[in-house]
Amino acid sequence: MTTHRLGDLARQAGARLIGDADCGITGLSVLQEAKSGSISFLSNSKYRKYLKTTKASAVILEQKFLDECPTNALVSDNPYLVFAKIAQLIAPLPEKKAGRHVSAIVASSACIDVSASIGPGVVIEDDAVIGAGVDIGAGCVIGKGCQIGDDSRLVTNVTLCHGVTIGSRVLIHPGAIIGSDGFGLANDNGVWIKVPQLGSVCVGDDVEIGANTTIDRGAINDTLIGDGVKLDNQIQIAHNVEIGAHTAIAACVGVAGSTRIGKQCTLAGGVGVVGHLEIADNVHFSAQTLVTRSFTEPGYFSGNLPAVPNSVWRKSIARIRQLEDIAQRVRHLEKQSQQMIDDKLDQDI
Amino acid sequence: MTTHRLGDLARQAGARLIGDADCGITGLSVLQEAKSGSISFLSNSKYRKYLKTTKASAVILEQKFLDECPTNALVSDNPYLVFAKIAQLIAPLPEKKAGRHVSAIVASSACIDVSASIGPGVVIEDDAVIGAGVDIGAGCVIGKGCQIGDDSRLVTNVTLCHGVTIGSRVLIHPGAIIGSDGFGLANDNGVWIKVPQLGSVCVGDDVEIGANTTIDRGAINDTLIGDGVKLDNQIQIAHNVEIGAHTAIAACVGVAGSTRIGKQCTLAGGVGVVGHLEIADNVHFSAQTLVTRSFTEPGYFSGNLPAVPNSVWRKSIARIRQLEDIAQRVRHLEKQSQQMIDDKLDQDI
Amino acid sequence: MTTHRLGDLARQAGARLIGDADCGITGLSVLQEAKSGSISFLSNSKYRKYLKTTKASAVILEQKFLDECPTNALVSDNPYLVFAKIAQLIAPLPEKKAGRHVSAIVASSACIDVSASIGPGVVIEDDAVIGAGVDIGAGCVIGKGCQIGDDSRLVTNVTLCHGVTIGSRVLIHPGAIIGSDGFGLANDNGVWIKVPQLGSVCVGDDVEIGANTTIDRGAINDTLIGDGVKLDNQIQIAHNVEIGAHTAIAACVGVAGSTRIGKQCTLAGGVGVVGHLEIADNVHFSAQTLVTRSFTEPGYFSGNLPAVPNSVWRKSIARIRQLEDIAQRVRHLEKQSQQMIDDKLDQDI
């Protein structure tokens, strides 16, 4: 890594510098392992205990922690954002060579920009259109008629099935599958009949798609992933799902068919969403929550059962199963109690 | 798409036509976006609101909605099945060229039918047997001694480990892994010792296996997937699981080792099934349900906690943890109440 | 399979032989399907019913079941461990040919031991270092600067992103992705900004990684997988997670960022662990449990809601939502009851 002037980094990242603008920064590190020349950050208060003794040359933090900072500080209301911007400035760009590797198999009808990089073993099928600056890593398969916008990157072993459209500046991680058939089945006296999946997938600009995530093609219309959507690893997006712009979905989430999720939502890890629902903008679901109905207003929603010691859990589960009984006994007690009060009133009268 | 006569489609799909048999159908669409020449369907009542104003040239629906249909109708008790059949008639077949791509790497001992299509970058190892009309897409790896029945299709980047048997007309989507080692471990004073996985996987006819789904090979015997089974994406089937014919499993389900699932069952998304269980035929589990015991009778079973507003959920969770206490307080109240009743009886006497 | 002398197998696997040491063993089988010449085992009491009538030539079992064994016995306190060792002795080793397949694409700067086996279509990028006896199967991609220790095996279609370090005797199953970007995002007024992921992944010795499992690279420091860790299929390990030695994690588990899991823990299938937690050594979580806080002591922890008939479940869910109400009614009854007791005391006085 080259050396960056701290004052320049502060200015470019939009933070207020308290300290030496000429301090040289060569790398990034966590507070507790920082060495001279590195810049660190404090955004999760769990790590505050490491601030006072950090050896970092600069720390990005909120105003309220400034007193505890033993070195140069970059002050911001959003230290993690400042850190992200500085990391982008400092981190080396991935290498990319325009042109195609000799082992790539490219259909003659495919249209590939001269500035695109096509890696070893890549397969590009008929009529695909690959934009300027696109980087397709080893082993990717680009199906017939796919379109990939400028400056997008498919890291390695990514599969785009036929007819998929990918926007610009999209980043797709290894093993992701875009455009596989939706799970469309009609039941004919106990035998499942396949419903052909004739739509496709349309992915907007600035989207990130995690490793081994799958996005199915639509049955008739397309599955739609909005601009700026961020999908973590191991996610399943079913056919005809629509995800609004700038929604972020953590790992291991499954969204069932035809559900529409609004803009700027967040789904934590392991969430499941059933099909044919409408989720408004700015809706947030906690980890492992199951979403079984539409949510038409913004808000935070949950439905999980956090871990407790096994003995406690066994009793809780047993009691949950007795809840019907408990509720009836409470109702009976209420009646008895009311009867006694009535009797007493009668007596008193 | 070519033009199909509506009367012919109705006859071939087994629906009753109300309207113009000579109407020309060129495509499929959803009710609310249909144009002249397209056929649509109504099978989920959520979409009934779009029926009266649809521009489709024909709609597949149940008798009870016929009065609301503004155009030609195909009447059936199972509109989705009729739609599936018509989509199969209208949809173009995927292109398939017999022969092997020059970049495919095929062991000389492999036996490949002349009518099979072997795509670019495919690897076929020793002694594999590939049936008539089989279509193996780009990047698939077929392990030593695998057998694939007639007219099966492996879309792209599918892995069959050694010795796996696949039936006829099986469709396997990208990234699926069939025949990986089961998770067999014996504990030797805190260190895990691998149990070699010596069985294989046997997949029946007319099976569909979703993108990035994994099916492990058996430890001694084979893992068995019955005829007509449909597996969605991101599913994990552990070693020695047996799945009965025509069972359908939605995305993100995990089935642990040696569990046997009957015929015509359905597992909704995110279900988990622990190992060594017996699940009868016609058993149905709701989304995200955890199955911890055998179910020997048909029926619908559930065990999830649907999303509610965070504030409600926090109170519920707190109360669940107080359930033991609440139950004891109810018992105490019952004793008090009984005591008071007894006392009153004593007084009255 | 060749014939093994039963006495030799018993001695090598550390079991006590009751019976004929010269009995010839040619294979392994389950109790209920065993034939002469095969050895079987009883470690799960669910299968005890098959012991008395087994046709196996020998059975591995605990002392307490010896009376029911109709044939030669190998007695051990840990029959499954003995079975694992005997299976390792009997099972054929996977074939491996030193050298590289003609279709492999290997960077000239990569350093590959002459005893390593590089399969068809493998891509090895710049500066990778591949140890002695390593076996890299068809379609694997080894990123720039990766290091793989001696005798490790990458089965098929495995992706190692740049700079990943793999120990010795590591086994990685098909479709696994090691070193994909962590899900690091900072929010800038509703738009997500990517945090570059500059760390890597370091995997210890004797680790097993399941099919389609994903392990993300660290944001600054490395994600760490300890020696002897066993990961099943479809697992997601997020950035900067640390997993202690000899911990075993079953399929479909997700562990969120920066969480540290101790040694010799077990996570059953479908468990979710949120980020930035500390889990002690010897902690065990039941299937589908959500872990939302640190656990600093060994123990068994749970938090799931096992399947029950739908009608029972509907009532339970309704009652859970009424819990707040029930709790308040119980409190009201307690007050009423106390009032009545006080009134009675007043009367009696």
- Give per-residue pLDDT as tens, C10-40: 999 999 999 999 999 999 999 999 999 999 9
Q: What is the mean pLDDT of residues A96-113?
A: 94
Give the closest of B28, B121, B320 to A123, CB-based.
Answer: B121
Q: Which residues contact A154 (CB under 8 A, 6 or more apart)?
A: A134, A135, A136, A137, A140, A142, A148, A160, A172
Please report which confidence band the pLDDT of residue B349 belongs to, taking 50, 70 and 90 as the band edges: low
Cα of C123 to nearest chain B Cα, Å: 12
More confident residue, A341 or A159: A159
Question: In B, which residues are within 8 Å of A323 by CB distance?
Answer: 323
Complete edge-to-edge strand list for the sheet that includes strand C165-166? C111-112, C129-130, C147-148, C165-166, C201-203, C223-225, C242-243, C260-261, C278-279
Question: In C, which residues are within 8 Å of B127 by CB distance?
Answer: none
Helices C6-13, C79-90: axis angle to 10 degrees equals: 120
For B266, phi and psi rounded to 5 degrees?
A: -130, 135
Q: What percent of chain B has pLDDT over 70?
A: 99
Question: In B, which residues are within 8 Å of A177 by CB distance?
Answer: 157, 173-175, 211-212, 233
Residue A123 at interface with chain C, using a CB cutoff of 8 Å:
no
Q: What percent of chain A has pLDDT over 90?
A: 85
Catalytic residue list contains A276 = no
Question: With b meaning 16 or more CB within 10 Å and e meaning fewer, what string describes C284-313?
Answer: bbbbbbbbbeebeeeeebbbbbbbbebeeb
Q: Kindly name the residue from A4, A239, A246, A276 that is annotated as catalytic.
A: A239
Give pLDDT, residue A131: 98
Cβ contact C196–A87 (<8 Å): yes
Residue B221 at interface with chain A, using a CB cutoff of 8 Å:
no
Is residue B279 within 8 A of residue B260, CB to CB? The reply is yes
Give pLDDT, residue A1: 62
Q: Taking all residues of chain B, what is their mean pLDDT, rounded to a whole number?
A: 95
Give the closest of C33, C310, C327 to B302, CB-based.
Answer: C310
Please report which confidence band the pLDDT of residue C1 belongs to, taking 50, 70 and 90 as the band edges: low
Give the closest of C87, C268, C287 to B196, CB-based.
Answer: C87
Residue B340 has pLDDT above 90, yes or no: no
Give the closest of C233, C313, C334 to B180, CB-based.
Answer: C233
Residue C328 burial (C-beta neighbours within 10 Å; 0-12, 13-18, 19+): exposed
Give the closest of A186, A234, A330 to B234, CB-based.
Answer: A234
Residues of B recognised as catalytic: 239
Give pLDDT, residue C327: 86
Q: Cα–Cα distance between B202 and B177 in angstroms, integer?
A: 13
Give pLDDT, residue C180: 98
Residue B269 at interface with chain A, using a CB cutoff of 8 Å:
yes
Q: Mutate which of B12, B28, B310 to test chain A, going by most A C-beta atoms within 10 A? A: B310
Predicted TM-score of the model (pTM): 0.95
Residue C102 at interface with chain A, using a CB cutoff of 8 Å:
no
Cα of C111 to nearest chain A Cα, Å: 19
User: For A276-324, what is each residue's pLDDT tens digit?
Assistant: 999 999 999 999 999 999 999 999 999 999 999 999 899 888 888 888 8
Which sign, positive or negative, has the C-alpha torsion C243, B304, B176, A170? Answer: negative
Residue C246 has pLDDT above 80, yes or no: yes
Q: What percent of chain A has pLDDT over 70?
A: 99
Question: In C, which residues are within 8 Å of B303 by CB distance?
Answer: 304-308, 313
Question: In A, which residues are within 8 Å of C272 by CB distance?
Answer: 252, 269-270, 287-288
Residue C252 at interface with chain A, using a CB cutoff of 8 Å:
yes
Please report which confidence band the pLDDT of residue A349 belongs to, taking 50, 70 and 90 as the band edges: low
Q: What is the mean pLDDT of residues C200-206?
A: 98
Cα of A166 to nearest chain B Cα, Å: 18
User: For A214-247, what is each residue's pLDDT tens digit?
Assistant: 999 999 999 999 999 999 999 999 999 999 999 9
Question: In A, which residues are within 8 Å of C105 by CB distance?
Answer: 101, 103, 120-121, 138
Which sign, positive or negative, has the C-alpha torsion B245, B250, B256, B261? Answer: negative
User: For A10-47, what is each residue's pLDDT tens digit?
Assistant: 999 999 999 999 999 999 999 999 999 999 999 988 89
User: For B114-144, what is each residue's pLDDT tens digit?
Assistant: 999 999 999 999 999 999 999 999 999 999 9
Cβ contact A121–C105 (<8 Å): yes
Residue A344 has pLDDT above 80, yes or no: no
Nearest chain A alpha carbon to C106: A120
Residue A288 at interface with chain C, using a CB cutoff of 8 Å:
yes
Q: What is the mean pLDDT of residues B278-303?
A: 97
Question: In A, which residues are within 8 Å of C159 by CB distance?
Answer: 139, 156-157, 174-175
Cβ contact A270–C254 (<8 Å): yes
The identity of residue C163, as a single letter, is: G
Nearest chain B alpha carbon to A302: B307
Q: What is the mean pLDDT of residues B72-77?
A: 97
Is residue B130 within 8 A of residue B113, CB to CB? The reply is yes
Give the closest of A33, A91, A211 to C177, CB-based.
Answer: A211
Q: What percent of chain C has pLDDT over 70?
A: 99
Q: What is the mean pLDDT of residues B291-308?
A: 95
Give pLDDT, residue B338: 84
Nearest chain C alpha carbon to B283: C309
List of chains touching B (3+ CB pairs within 8 A): A, C
Cα of A29 to nearest chain B Cα, Å: 34
Q: Mutate which of C88, C100, C285, C305 to test chain B, going by most B C-beta atoms within 10 A? A: C305
Give pLDDT, residue B1: 61
Nearest chain B alpha carbon to A324: B327
Cβ contact A299–B310 (<8 Å): yes
Q: Which of B84-93, B320-329, C148-157 has the highest mean predicted lDDT (pLDDT)?
A: C148-157
Cβ contact C324–B303 (<8 Å): no
> How many CB pairs below 8 Å do chains B and C form together?
227
Map residue A117 onto helix, strand or coil: strand
Closest CA to A121 of C146, B174, B122: B122
Residue A272 at interface with chain C, using a CB cutoff of 8 Å:
no
Give pLDDT, residue B62: 97
Q: Kindly name the residue from C4, C173, C239, C246 that is annotated as catalytic.
A: C239
Task: Name residue, tokens 């173009």.
Answer: B92
